[in-house]
Amino acid sequence: MADVKRVIMPGVTHWQSPYMHAYFPALNCYPSMLGDMLADAINCLGFTWASSPACTELETIVMDWLGKMLGLPSCFLHANGGMGGGCIQTTASECTFVTLLAARTEAIRRYKLVDPSVEDADINGRLMGYCSDQAHSSVEKAGLIGLVKLRFLSSDENLSLRGEKLQEAITADRKSGYIPFFVCATLGTTGACAFDILTEIGPICESERLWLHIDAAYAGSAFICPEYRKWMEGIEYADSLAFNPSKWLMVHFDCSALWLKDARALHRTFNVEPLYLQHENSGERGGGGKEREGEHWQIALSRRFRSLKLWFVLRTFGVERLQQHIRKGVRLAIQFEEFVQSDPRFEVTAPRHLGMVVFRLAGPNDLTEQLLKRLNKQGKVHMVPASLKGKYVIRFTVTSQFTTEADIKRDGTRPNSNPNDQPPSKENAVTAPVTKRKPNLHLMTHAKAGNSKRNSEYGISLLLSNVPMSPKIVNGSFAAMFEGDVCKELGEVTRHLSVGGEFLRPSPRRRGKLGDQEKQMSLDYSVLERHRSGFSKTMVAMGSLDSKIDEILEIGS
């Protein structure tokens, strides 16, 4: 444990901190951890009903429990006796991917009923899927892996996908020879927690025979509260729906709930049955059958006993206490929104929904970017940015169940406080000195044309190398620190190593400079100045742990 404290904990982001307001919740609780400990001790592989009947049966039961808590139509439940039902996947990204594959299988099957002579590959090359320009990046990734084209449709002024835009795109694509087959609608977008309009999208998908998948990764947890089900209107048109109990329901990662109205397309997609996986009850729904075999619901063969931790949480807290937990998060977000609105320098960029507030400084994007960097540099709160219709915004999400009203008051006054230096205001924006850091192109490993333009406009704070690693928080204090003697130890360990034939030589000047400090913020980009890289011999701005290692070591003979 001493090594864990010394080596591991300095580089851990503490997602359970009450001052962690980045991304979305990723909560845990003791019942969830105990359930997973028991599952790990049992260590069964639930790929078929026979491989572990309890694993299969419990997942079937808790998925029906959870579906009823959300108010899903009965066609999505196992107990209905139809072809629908739910299963637990690893992430919402996987849910999107497997449903896209199922939709692709179904589209090819239907097309070949009309023209059996057409090759699957020819049909696949003409398939076209749709989503909003606010959809999660996992939708694009699913299209890339599934080898299908995706069209990103413009959202309206409320960042919602509307039926008119979808219908226009479908009509145009059919005229161009494409085969529309899949729509991913989002309930609770990542950028602003916006909601696509299912009552408009659903009827179009039904009439055009498109698979409608609902990504409610974050917002889905809130649907256990009846007052938030207004955004679910039109859910009866969906072919599949997914959300993450691992986000807001305190079931720790990984746990993503997926329901399908008719799971046969999914089963056909993953239907591989070698003799060694068959058993005497394989053809019976009550004791197996494709509807109950875990292998037919996912890409992998083996399945963890994930339903055990979900079962523990549902039984421990019950519906009412989980509802109280959700409502508390929403109430705290409303309180933070009021703090932001009380300062005329700020603007709430999009309507607040659930536990997320999106805000910015009035004026140029640079002002908000500088503010976010200063807030994260202090290590008292952690937030991340988003881009909404060309505006650089700060996302504030109530994530932790340990966050209190006092914490929100503290965090709500922090953006408009004056700790050490005053953030530029709208009035002094012209004369305020703006230090603009250009993006580190060496770190932009997946930069597309659009992303490159965005990074050029907004600077490095959108790059993965900076914001998610800066700073690390332990209840409002830096965790991204290392002891001075670790610098010396690292230098001693690596002094005889070489890279590309060149020895790593400890730098007494740099190592001594860092070693003399009792603590050093190791992962915070903003504390690093430009320096000469030992590798390239050019001036670059580094933004990761490797950059601090380069401060300790010099590369060369």
Mean pLDDT of all residues in 337-341: 91
- The yes-or-no verdict on residue 171 having pLDDT over 60 is yes
Residue 194 in this model has a pLDDT that exceeds 80: yes
Write down the pLDDT at residue 211. 96
Tell me: do 43 and 95 sit in the same domain.
yes
Phi-psi region of 256 (alpha: psi -120 to 50; beta: other; left: phi over 0): beta
So what's the pLDDT on residue 248?
93
pLDDT digits (tens, 9 = 90+) for 131-149: 999 999 999 999 999 999 9
190 is a domain residue? yes
Per-residue pLDDT tens over the stretch 265-304: 887 877 777 665 666 665 554 444 445 665 667 777 678 8
- The CATH number of residue 208's host domain is 3.40.640.10
Residue 240 sits in the same domain as residue 380: no
Enumerate the H helices of 183-306 as residue ranges: 198-208, 245-248, 264-269
CB atoms within 10 A of CB 421: 8
List, for residues 214-237, the tens digit of each pLDDT value. Answer: 999 999 999 999 999 999 999 999
Mean pLDDT of 369-379: 88
Please tell me the predicted confidence (pLDDT) of residue 484: 38
Residue 411 confidence class, pLDDT cut points 50, 70, 90: confident
Which pTM does this prediction carry? 0.73
- Judge if 126 and 244 occupy the same domain: yes
Is residue 145 in a domain?
yes
* pLDDT tens digits, one per residue of 54-65: 888 899 899 999
**pLDDT value for 37:** 93
In a domain, 38, yes or no: yes
Q: Are 383 and 396 in contact (CB under 8 A)?
A: yes
- Residue of 342, 405, 406, 420 lying closest to 375 (CA atoms): 420
Q: How does pLDDT run across 450-464, given as a tens digit for each residue?
A: 333 433 433 333 332
Is residue 178 predicted with pLDDT exceeding 90? yes
The reported pLDDT for the residue numbered 275 is 62
367 lies in some domain: yes
User: Of 416, 436, 467, which residue constitutes the final position of a domain?
Assistant: 416
Q: What is the 3-state secondary structure (H, E, C) of 481-536?
A: EEEHHHHHHHHHHHCCCEECCEEEEECHHHHHHHHCCCEEECCCHHHCCCEECCCC
Q: Does 187 lie in the same domain as 174?
A: yes
Domain with 350 in it: 320-416
Tokens of 24: 């979305």
pLDDT at site 556? 34
Domain boundary among 282, 317, 352: 317
**In-domain check, residue 471:** no
Model confidence at 70, pLDDT cuts 50, 70, 90, reads: very high
Coil vs helix vs strand at 281: coil
User: Per the structure, how many domains does the chain have?
Assistant: 2
Task: Examine the domain organization and report whether 243 and 375 are in the same domain.
Answer: no
Is 78 inside any structural domain? yes
| Of 238-242, 244-248, 256-260, 507-511, the least confident | 507-511
| Domain assignment present for 54 | yes
The answer to whether residues 341 and 301 belong to one domain is no
pLDDT in the model for residue 202: 96
Give the pLDDT confidence score for residue 282 in this predicted structure: 58
Residues 179 and 39 reside in one and the same domain: yes
Same-domain check for residues 309 and 339: no
**Domain shared by 82 and 135, yes or no:** yes
Both 90 and 157 in one domain: the answer is yes
> Could you say which of 416, 435, 454 is where a domain stops?
416
In this structure, of 134-143, 463-472, 493-502, the range with the lowest mean pLDDT score is 463-472
Residue 255 domain flag:
yes
pLDDT of residue 517: 41
In this structure, are 307 and 350 located in the same domain? no
Contact 385, 351 (CB under 8 A): no
Whether residues 312 and 351 fall in one domain: no
pLDDT at 511 over 60: no
Q: Give the CATH number for residue 377.
A: 3.90.1150.10
